[in-house]
Structure 1
Amino acid sequence: MPSNDGEPTQIVFAIDESYSLPLTVAWHSLRASNAELTDRLQIDLLYEELSPLTIERLRWHAELLGLRVRLRPVHLEPIRYPTAFGGAHANYLRLVIPEMYLDRERVLYLDADLVIRGDLSALFGTELDGRPLGAVRDPLNPVVGRGRALPGWSKLGIPPEQEYFNSGVLLIDPAACREERLFARAIEFIAAHPEHIRLWDQDALNWAAQDRWKRLEPHWNAFPLSALVRTPWVRYTTQDLMPLQDLVRLEETSAVLHFASPAKPWKDLLPEGPAAASYRALLSAVRSAERSFTPAI
């Protein structure tokens, strides 16, 4: 990954109170799968408001795992951020990243509802080939003309075949994003066209980026589709574009498994299977560790 000599590798998460538990699961998975990288990582947590107890708990986990973590309160521009269909204000916090990291050549953004199972070194080292960001094509919305993303895309003049990325894993070049005003234009789009927002920040970023994004290998952001297709929230309709059997095989070997959709495993909403079982094991380890947490508050 391009960086200055001695500069730690920057990872950013963003949460609200409701995602503090899965965030600790993500941290534990990161430490377990990337132990050799620990000393090189700078992990920042963006948030608008967290309780003192949650902040204390997160700091305790960071110290337990030997992770260098900074908690950074941020404030979004005062516009209306659509949160219908299960979204949250915290979904939009990643939009401040280019303006916050003026001194970084690369920033890796990760959602909190994922587990890291492979070495991230290759992802950090991925060249963006002049693009402002890298992402993985969204398996449930692979193009804007199929799926639930960007409602009213035709009125915006977007071709139906334009590929659409998932924003749960983003490799960001902050300087290039600032130069192209990619994230700034995403915020302007939200303010001007909230009726075209269905998948929150992701819709706005896809509108702003159009085709100016590097396609990352799909194993960097795989979904547990073997389970998701058995939920009421997912109806797989893009077999011709991304065969389901290929995506199911991918989930078995992926470096990052992203528990997208409302079927969150920490809420026991993901159907039984390997993905749910592996998440339960991590969650159990987190809860076991927390037995020794004694809050000072």
Structure 2
Amino acid sequence: MNNIITIVCASSDSYAPYCGVMLTSLFSNNLTHQIECFILSGDMGNDNRQRLSLLAEQFGQKITVLDINKELFKKLPIGERFTNISYEAYFRLLMPSLLSDRDRALYLDCDMIIKTDLAELWNTNLEGYALAAVQDTLRMRKKCISRLGFGTNDGYFNSGMGLYNLQFLRQFEFEKKVWDFVDKQYHLILYHDQDIINCVCKGLIHEVSPKWNMLESFLEKTPPIVPWQREELEEWRKKPCIIHYASLRKPWFKECLHPYKDEFWHYAAISPWNELKPVFKYHGFKRFTKYYLKRLFI
């Protein structure tokens, strides 16, 4: 296996600072590894490109921005469910052809913090699988299984972290299957790229520990998890390997009460975007306090 860890993420120009903070955490906790990072973007500006170059130089790693034509995805839905979803969310669907000489790639959402060495995850056995991912919450699973026509034993996986078997996906004709699904089943797409990946790769996704994608919901006092995650979750939610701020209440918003929001600011302070400051987004602090009190984090 190639000793270089290949990372892929997707970011608009406006989201680049948060992508940069995520990469800062990744590089900081993987100093002994050689990492190449590909950022898929439809509008990355010069200022953020320069800062990304500074970040790569700071840690002696490689960052490449791949420019993607958004028009390829104009017929796909955005913003119907989440206002923070952009066309960049779909760019990961092009990875098998974009990285045609790579056997695997680790996709990471920008709203994450990497807290540990990724060698264990990177070396996951993917034989016979399209990708490895973490099962989404029980709430999400119940919503999606009937809508997508899945059986009760079929999993529904969060697409924020995915270790992709690119060699398998090319043989599987993944991208062709994606567009066939979009043409024939567009009406089923509610959760964007996540729905598409789960449907096209049903039965071909290897489940890994929630420590590799610690969703906000996993940190609730009574987390909405599938039964087989309980033991794993109890062990790892107080020391997650990857923190995923997977809600509208991001740590860069003052309304955020996420128990690990300070982790974001720790890495922001040592990144090329160290001027970042928390801002009010929703101007409804009481509303979000009530939301959090209902769930009560660890």
Q: Output the TM-score relative to the length of structure 2.
A: 0.81
Instruction: Say whether 1:66 aligns with 2:60.
Output: yes
Q: Residue type of the partner of 1:178? A: R
SS at 2:14 equivalent = helix
Instruction: Say whether 1:17 aligns with 2:17.
Output: no
- Relative to 1, partners in 2 of residues 1:150 and 1:71: Cα closer, same or farther, differing over 3 Å? farther
Instruction: Indicate if the aligned counterparts of 2:147 and 2:188 stay in contact, CA closer than 8 A.
Output: yes
Unaligned runs of 5+ in 2: 277-298
Q: Residue type of the partner of 2:127? A: D
Distance 1:12 1:240 in 2: 31
- Relative to 1, partners in 2 of residues 1:47 and 1:272: Cα closer, same or farther, differing over 3 Å? closer
Distance 1:42 1:264 in 2: 26
Superposed CA offset, 1:201-221 (max 9, x none): 010000001111111222111
Q: Residue type of the partner of 1:218? A: P
Give the match for residue 179 of structure 1: 171
Instruction: Indicate if the aligned counterparts of 1:183 and 1:208 stay in contact, CA closer than 8 A.
Output: no
Instruction: Say whether 1:85 aligns with 2:81.
Output: yes
Instruction: Indicate if the aligned counterparts of 2:73 and 2:87 stay in contact, CA closer than 8 A.
Output: no
Instruction: Indicate if the aligned counterparts of 1:150 and 1:203 stay in contact, CA closer than 8 A.
Output: no
Given candidates 170, 194, 199, the residue that maps to 2:191 is: 199
Q: Residue type of the partner of 1:27? A: L
Superposed CA offset, 1:123-143 (max 9, x none): 111111321211111135563
Given candidates 107, 117, 120, the residue that maps to 1:119 is: 117
SS at 2:7 equivalent = strand
Task: Work out the number of aligned pairs and report it.
Answer: 272
Q: Which 4+ runs in 1 deviate beyond 6 A?
A: none
Instruction: Indicate if the aligned counterparts of 2:10 and 2:109 stay in contact, CA closer than 8 A.
Output: yes
Instruction: Indicate if the aligned counterparts of 2:73 and 2:90 stay in contact, CA closer than 8 A.
Output: no
Q: Output the TM-score relative to the length of structure 1.
A: 0.81
Instruction: Indicate if the aligned counterparts of 1:8 and 1:42 stay in contact, CA closer than 8 A.
Output: yes
Superposed CA offset, 1:24-72 (max 9, x none): 11111012111111xx211111111122222222222222232211111
Structural RMSD (CA) = 2.7
Alpha-carbon deviation of 1:91? Answer: 0.4
Distance 2:133 2:218 in 1: 22
Distance 1:89 1:78 in 2: 7
Alignment of 1:253-264 (within 5 A): 253-264=239-250
Instruction: Indicate if the aligned counterparts of 1:98 and 1:177 stay in contact, CA closer than 8 A.
Output: yes
Instruction: Say whether 1:281 aligns with 2:279.
Output: no
SS at 1:261 equivalent = coil
